[in-house]
Structures are given as C-alpha cells and as structure tokens.
C-alpha cells in the first residue's frame, strides 16, 4: 500500500451562504492548511472490490467517495483503502473532507481515469 497525507485545515473565516438542493451548503471561507494530517493508505485491486479499514465502516467518507467515483466512471478496478486518523474527529479541521478528497485524487491516478480535478470536486 502507498501512503498519502490528507492535510487538516484551520478555518480563519467561515460563512454559510445557504443550503443547496442536494442538501449541502454553499460556503465562503478563508482557511490555512496545518502541519497535522490523517494518513490514507491505498493499493489498487484488479478484482474490482473496494475494501476499507478505518473508523465509521461503510459510512466513512473515504469509502463513499471511492464508491461514487467507481460508479460515475464505470471503473472495473478496486482498491484497498486504510485510514489512519491523526486529526480529531469532529474537531473542525476538515479531516473527513480532506480524507475523501485525497482518496478521489489518488484513485483517479491509480485507476488512470483522467477525470479533471474540477469534476472531482
């Protein structure tokens, strides 16, 4: 497995602009990345299976992001994903979001999908 940092952040300013139709919120923010990071360990699987080891099981944002990317791209590959939490859960440091974003970026490269970064967001 290859190891990747999922950096935390500290919000210097955060304003909720409103709720979107999909249930998420539009935000205006200014933040600073911090030196602490969760660690994501990922290895490609040829059998198409997604396996996750870490907190929150099937509800973890890492696994949800991987499943969505796989579905949206019809990718036949899979991955072993392990999450090593170093950021506090619910601590406001963006750990879950950063974890999911890191998984998307890494799988896009490992699976050779060539999805534009803007589309991954």
What are the 10-residue block averages of pLDDT along the chain, 121 residues in total?
Answer: 93 92 90 94 98 87 96 98 91 89 97 95 77
Quick one: pLDDT at residue 59?
A: 83
pLDDT of residue 49: 98
The predicted pLDDT at position 88 comes to 86
Amino acid 111: pLDDT: 98
Record the tokens describing residue 28, joined without a space: 């205006």
**Which domains, ranges and CATH numbers included, belong to the chain?**
2-8+34-120 (3.30.230.10)
**Residue 57: per-residue pLDDT:** 78
Distance separating alpha carbons of residues 119 and 65, to the nearest angstrom? 13
Q: How many CA within 13 A on the CB side of residue 99?
A: 26
Residues in the chain: 121
pLDDT confidence of residue 58: 79
Give the residue from 9, 11, 17, 113 showing the smallest Cα distance to 68: 113
What's the pLDDT score for residue 90?
Answer: 82
Nearest to 39 by CA among 78, 10, 7, 80: 7
**Looking at residue 89, what is its pLDDT?**
84
């Amino acid at each position: 497995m290859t190891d990747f940092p999922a950096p935390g952040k500290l919000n210097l300013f955060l304003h909720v602009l409103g709720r979107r139709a999909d249930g998420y919120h539009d935000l205006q923010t200014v933040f600073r990345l911090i030196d602490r990071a969760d660690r994501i360990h990922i290895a490609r699987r040829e059998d198409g299976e997604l396996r996750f080891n870490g907190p929150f099981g099937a509800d973890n944002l890492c696994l949800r992001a991987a499943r969505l990317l796989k579905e949206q791209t019809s990718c036949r590959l899979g991955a072993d994903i392990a999450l090593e939490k170093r950021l506090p859960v619910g601590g406001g440091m963006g750990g879950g979001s950063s974890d999911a974003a890191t998984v998307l970026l890494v799988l896009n490269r490992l699976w050779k999908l060539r999805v534009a970064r803007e589309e991954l967001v």
